[in-house]
Chains A and B, each alone.
Chain A
Amino acid sequence: MTAAAIEARGLGKDFGSIRALDHLDLEVREGEFFGFLGPNGAGKTTTVHLLATLLRPTRGAARVAGYDVVRDDLQTRRSIGLVFQETTLDRDLTVEENLRFAARLWNLPGRVAAPRIAELLGQFGLLERRRDRVRALAGGMRRALDIARGMLHEPRVLFLDEPTAGLDPRARRSLWELLQRLRAASGLTVFLTTHYVEEAEPCDRVAVLDRGRLAALGTPAELKRAAGVQSLEDVFLARTGHPLAEPSAA
């Protein structure tokens, strides 16, 4: 039987009087490519941080890879990879040094880490840049390195928090292809947050989040059919009563 990779029951988080996440019930299956769609401030990052044990829930509970995120926080963190919204690399270290630093934090012995690092550098197109300081890398390459580092310890669940934010369209596309290849090769569970509908489109299932509440959940096709609309953008509008993206001032 396949256990749920992620399971949230009534999960919620308040920051003072602000209700960041109201009440989330969610189940993500093993190997699923799960999209978490919502505008900025919907509670996506809060949810990811709760599931990654970086925040303590105000109410409810969650299990990730079978571990309770509050009680078994170390095991939870060992089973997940997390790519934060902003890069968390050390810019003064080289590409390789960043990976080696992470390998030690994740307690991988050198004989396991060295071949794994070489493999990831190849896979992520960073082999030639491995001795360069991160400072010298372009945004797309930094992001690739962030993800490579998240994959270093072969996590069961990979959280990607707005991984393409701040990237130009070309870097975004190549990162996207990389993710698809990675998933095809490993059967990894991916939990992706995004505010771009085109990124939610290829997901197996999508949860639509708005103002800390789950507005809809299903495959992209199901969501569109149920709302009687053609695009996920319209699904969002139909379910929440307001558009996903504020019209830009320009």
Chain B
Amino acid sequence: MSRRAVCGIVARELIRFQRQRGRVLASLVRPFVWLIFAGAGFATVFTGAGEIDYRRYMAPGLLGMVVMFGSLLAALSTVTDRDAGVLRMVLVAPIRRSTIALGKTLGATLLGTTQAVMVGTILLSLVRLWPGPAGLLLAFVAIVLSSLALGALGLLLAATIRSIENFAGVMNFVVFPMLFLSGALYPVRRLGPALHAVVYLNPLAYGVDLLKHALLAGWTSAGYGGEMPVALDVAGLAAFAVAGLLAAARLLGREEGVTRAAFRERD
């Protein structure tokens, strides 16, 4: 495992991110748009209004959303790398496929974490949520672990989908279901048994739940804190991270698409 190569891949992700002003701006503004509009709407139908202000309730979910867009989309940039040819250059470097997968995932983790921490500092003061040092530390751990798990998952998706056109499909069939079944906007325990079972297959659900443990500990008894044990959240995220990384490394090793495509064109 070449540490230098991993650093190089991460450094490139950072340079690219800070050059894409629009992407930075969107990732920082998006959660506040949700806070204002979705927050206002859902607050009117939220049954727990006497117990907790809805905007405060959705803060952990919004942080989870920042992590998801930040790290999942960063890892999905591998699709763009393939189109631009950069991936081929990386594949011809004398490094293992697992090194590439690790570098890409760590880059995505760093981006997801940075964005979530930036949004978090503003968001928590806006909704007046003061979890204390232990809570903040746990929230940070939750953000890092979720970024890692979602980054690995994004890379796996990128290794599977072949073109940018499929990107929209990913948004509709991965990102939105993941968000709505994560507990970000409403408690998942009230969903029917079938949907509730799907929640356990959703990495974001573990991340949001861990964030609720960290930030909404005071409302646990009222039913608005974490809904699963902390240990399960951590184990779930770790499992998704490891499985995603291993699978993505395997799939990246089979990048025969380039030459194969050339031969399709010939016939």
CB pair A107–B5 under 8 Å, yes or no, is yes
Indicate if the CB atoms of B7 and A104 lie closer than 8 Å.
Answer: yes
Contact at B92–A77, with CB atoms within 8 Å?
yes
* Residue of B with least CB distance to A93: B15
A54 near B255: Cβ-Cβ < 8 Å? yes
Contacts of A89 in B (CB 8 A): 85-86, 89
Asked if B19 is an interface residue, CB under 8 A from chain A, the answer is yes
B2-A107 in contact (CB<8A): yes
Taken together as a complex, chains A and B put the C-alpha atoms of A88 and B89 apart, in Å, by: 6
- Expressed in whole angstroms, the Cα–Cα distance for A87 and B88 within the complex equals 10
Specify which of B8, B19, B85 is in contact with A88 (CB 8 Å cutoff).
Answer: B85
For the complex, is A169 an interface residue (Cβ under 8 Å from B)? no
List of A residues within 8 angstroms of B92 by Cβ: 52-54, 77, 80, 82
Residues of A within 8 A of B88 (CB): 54, 84, 88
Decide if A45 touches B262 in the complex (CB within 8 Å). yes
Given A77-B92, A97-B15, A107-B94; A15-B5 close (CB under 8 Å): no
Chain B, interface residues (CB within 8 Å), range: 20 to 34
Determine if A105 and B85 form an interchain contact, defined as CB atoms under 8 angstroms apart: no
Q: In the docked arrangement, what's the CA distance between A104 and B103, Å?
A: 12
**Contacts between the two chains (Cβ within 8 Å), count:** 96
Contacting B at CB under 8 A, from A60-102, are 74-75, 77-78, 80, 82, 84, 86-93, 97, 100-102
Closest A residue to B7 using CB positions: A104
Q: Which residues of A contact B96 (CB under 8 A)?
A: 74
The answer to the question of A226 belonging to the interface, with a C-beta cut-off of 8 Å to chain B, is no
Q: B5–A104 contact, CB under 8 A? A: yes
Interface residue? A194 (CB, 8 A):
no
Quick check: is B11 within 8 A (CB to CB) of the other chain? yes
A20 and B263 contacting across the interface, CB-CB below 8 Å: yes
Known: A49-B258, A107-B5, A109-B4. 10 other contacts (CB 8 A): A40-B266, A52-B92, A53-B92, A54-B92, A54-B259, A86-B85, A87-B85, A90-B12, A90-B86, A107-B4
